[in-house]
Amino acid sequence: MHGLLRKSSERGKVLSVKTGSNPNSSSLGVDVTLLLAAGAAAGLLSFLGGSLIRWMRWGKGPGDRD
């Protein structure tokens, strides 16, 4: 319960979420489909991203990518 009540400034926040990956070798593409429900989509994505991150636990620690 304590964790849930911590201030958001302590927990940190999601700044942005970029979905998918860009297949195009000439410019940067951004998924705009979510603009159909802009405000709700942004909130939902931030919630999803934040939840996933908080759910994660440490792996091998600092080091190289594999």
Partner 1 sequence: MIPFVKLQAVGRFGKSMARAEPFGATIAFHKPEMLVMVDRAMALQLGVADFPAPQPGSCATDPHAPYEAHLTVGRNCSVGCSACYIDAGQGRRGPVDISKWEAILERLAQMGVFHVAIGGGEDDELEDLIHLASKARQLGLTPNLTTAAWNVTPAVAKRLGVFHRVHVSMDGLGDTYRQMRGHDGFARAHTGLEILKAYHPHVGVNCVVGRRNYEELEELFSLLHGLKISEVELLRFKPTGRGRALFDSMDLSHDQYDHLVKKVLKLAFRYRVRVRLDCSFTPMVCAGGYDPSVLAKLGVAGCVAGSWLVSIDPEGGLSGCSFDSEPVGSWTDLGKPGLFAKFSNWTNDPPMPCGDCAFLDICRGGCHLVARHVTGDFEAPDPSCPIVRRWSESGR
Interface residue list for partner 1 (CB under 8 A)? 9-36, 38-39, 41-42, 45-46, 48-50, 52-66
The distance of closest approach from Cβ of residue 4 to partner 1 in the complex, given in angstroms and rounded to an integer, is 15
Name which of 5 and 36 has its Cβ closer to partner 1: 36
DSSP character at residue 34: G
The distance of closest approach from Cβ of residue 48 to partner 1 in the complex, given in angstroms and rounded to an integer, is 8
- Tell me the C-alpha distance between 50 and 66, whole Å: 24
The distance of closest approach from Cβ of residue 16 to partner 1 in the complex, given in angstroms and rounded to an integer, is 5
Contacts of 28 (CB under 8 A, 6+ apart): 22
Quote the tokens at residue 24. 């195009």
Name which of 1 and 23 has its Cβ closer to partner 1: 23
* Cβ 46 vs Cβ 17: under 8 Å: yes
